[in-house]
Amino acid sequence: MLNGVEHKFVETADAVVVGGGVVGLAIARALARAHFGRIVLIERGQLGAEASHAAGGMLAAQAECDGADAFLELACASRDLYTGFAEALLDETGINIELERTGTLYLAFTERDELEIAHRYSWQSSAGLSVQRLTVDEARELEPCVSPEALSALRFPLDWQVENRRLVAALATAAENMGVQLLTCTNVESLLMERGHIKGVETAQGRIYSAVVVVASGAWASSLLTAEMSEPVIRIEPVRGQMLCFDARSAFARHVIYSPRGYLVPRMDGRLLAGSTTEHAGFDKRVTATGASTILTHAMEIAPALGELTLVDAWSGLRPRAVDDLPVLGESAQTRGLFYAVGHYRNGILLAPITGELIAAEITSGIASPLMTAFTPERFHQVGVG
Ligand code: FAD
Ligand code: GLY
């Protein structure tokens, strides 16, 4: 239910999307834009309330990719879509997702950090990406909050950020405005398959029959995927990330600022986010004293003045991670009509626009984009991972 509209339970659909985070919502919206027919998105809790709300909203293709590979290509392709994506969402819904274009700084504090940023500068400039090398004085001129202990910096002018909670709201409103049925508080218990075809889903409220089902259920995806033995074993594990949120109304910074250990994200409304942790803690979403203290240490290394700010909020979320850290995108080779869109790990906000477009295009045309080749579910069969 959205905007107070209660939907009645349907028994058939042209496409069912399981999971109402940014990934599922982006796919449902893209299918609706392609006029695919009756689309039902099923979310067992509230839309976007899991990893998609917890995120920092950074479009950190250059700060977070580690080399010029297929993942970088996917990340940059999605980043390039963001301007049009934000404009279209504003047009469709009136919701501004606050695409902020100041860019990202990446700081070095140790000799090892300096080697890391020299390497990053070298492979990114060879790959033709927009990257600038800065002295610490230049970095401090751009952002006076940067610690005088920093040794040097990179600037990525095109690594922007969005307000991910507004993104969730915009995607949900856009999808619903275009006729997608959003079923919240409804758990998908299993996938219905028969002789190599998907048939629909079994939910707590009953069956929905559909020849297309997209699994976009984030860190919980494995519970639906491991039961079917003919499928490759796709293990998606939850990786906890904690976040602190400060009141920084006095314009603390404009850039997103990284070090190799943490990051700061200044929001347009005056909040300043500091992240994060990378923890294998199962489905435990607590904010812990150790997590908060680690984040604070790394945040104050970047900007010591943060110690004077008021801590106003803290939360954590579960990043959906596949064993090779890469997203899993595309149709199953064993089960016609079953599509995967999982494993977006640290970059699901960045990858939402391209994931929506690629999955919707494969569903509507039957053709998988070459951009998806490295992310096929079949790679787990091929290398026997799992
Ligand atoms: P989710 O948002 O978790 O959505 C999955 C949904 O599926 C959930 O709502 C869940 O309730 C639902 N679901 C699960 N099982 C079922 C079922 N059986 N039936 C029905 N519904 C089901 N990414 C970036 O790009 N930039 C960042 O700056 C960034 N920062 C991050 C910071 C932190 C602290 C964390 C935790 C993550 C961050 N990420 C970032 C990663 C990003 O949040 C995720 O990659 C992204 O949100 C994944 O989206 P999703 O839709 O796959 O998962
Ligand atoms: N991409 C930031 C994080 O996952 O913490």
Question: Quick one: average pLDDT of 67-73?
Answer: 98
Tens digit of each residue's pLDDT (9 = 90 or more) over 249-262? 778 999 999 999 99
Reported as a pLDDT band with limits 50, 70 and 90, residue 16 is very high
> In this predicted model, what pLDDT tens digit does every residue of 258-293 receive, in sequence order?
999 999 999 999 999 999 999 999 999 999 999 999
User: For 115-124, what is the mean pLDDT?
Assistant: 98
Instruction: Tell me what pLDDT residue 24 has.
Output: 99
Percent of the chain clearing pLDDT 70 (strictly above): 95
Give the pLDDT band (50/70/90) at residue 204.
confident
**Polymer length in residues for the chain:** 386
Give the pLDDT confidence score for residue 3 in this predicted structure. Answer: 47
Residues within a 6 A CB radius of ligand 1: 18-24, 42-45, 49-52, 54-58, 187-188, 216-220, 224, 241, 243, 275-276, 317, 319-320, 344-350
Q: Is the dihedral of CA 267, 272, 277, 283 positive or negative?
A: negative
The rounded Å distance from CA 124 to ligand 2 centre is 20
Report the pLDDT value the prediction gives residue 386, as an integer from 0 to 100: 41
Closest atom, ligand 2, to C-alpha of 347: 1
Which ligand 1 atom is at minimum distance from the Cα of 52? 47
Residue 219: exposure state from Cβ atoms within 10 A (0-12, 13-18, ≥19): buried
- Residue nearest atom 3 in ligand 2 by C-alpha distance: 346
Distance (angstroms) between ligand 1 centre and the Cα of 48 equals: 7
Residue to substitute in 16, 40, 41, 50 for testing ligand 1 pocket (most ligand atoms within 8 angstroms of CB): 50
User: Ligand 1, atom 41: nearest CA belongs to which residue?
Assistant: 346
Indicate if the pLDDT at residue 385 is higher than 50. no
Instruction: Tell me what the mean pLDDT of segment 81-95 comes to.
Output: 98
Please give the distance, rounded to the nearest whole angstrom, from the Cα atom of residue 346 to the centre of ligand 2. 5
The residue to mutate among 159, 319, 344, having the most atoms of ligand 2 within 8 angstroms of its beta carbon, is 319
Mean pLDDT, the chain, as a whole number? 95
Residue 341 has pLDDT above 80, yes or no: yes
> Residues 144-182: pLDDT tens digits?
999 999 999 999 999 999 999 999 999 999 999 999 999
φ, ψ for residue 239, nearest 5 deg: -120, 110
Confidence of residue 363 (pLDDT cuts 50, 70, 90): very high
Concatenated DSSP letters of 314-359:
EEEEEEEEETTSS-EEEE-SSSBTEEEEE--TT-HHHHHHHHHHHH
Distance in Å, CA 187 to ligand 1 centroid: 16
Q: How far is the CA of 297 from the centre of ligand 1 (A)?
A: 26
> 278 CA to middle of ligand 2, Å?
8
| Nearest CA residue ID for atom 44, ligand 1 | 348
pLDDT of residue 7: 58
Ligand 2 center from residue 23 Cα (angstroms)? 16
Taking only the tens place, the pLDDT of each residue in 20-48 is 999 999 999 999 999 999 999 999 999 99
Q: Nearest bound ligand to CA 167?
A: 1
Average pLDDT over residues 110-116: 98
Q: Which of 22, 256, 263, 321 to mutate to test the pocket of ligand 2 (most atoms within 8 A of CB)?
A: 263
CA 323–ligand 1 middle distance (angstroms): 17
- Nearest alpha carbon to residue 120 among 65, 69, 189, 77: 65
Residues 6 or more apart from 70 whose CB is under 8 A from it? 371, 373, 374, 375
Atom of ligand 1 nearest to the CA of 277: 34
Work out the average pLDDT over 336-357. 98
Q: What is the pLDDT of residue 278?
A: 98
Residue range 352-364: mean pLDDT, rounded: 98
Assess whether pLDDT exceeds 50 at residue 62: yes
* Residue 128 in this model has a pLDDT that exceeds 90: yes
Instruction: Report residue 10's pLDDT band, with 50, 70 and 90 as the boundaries.
Output: confident
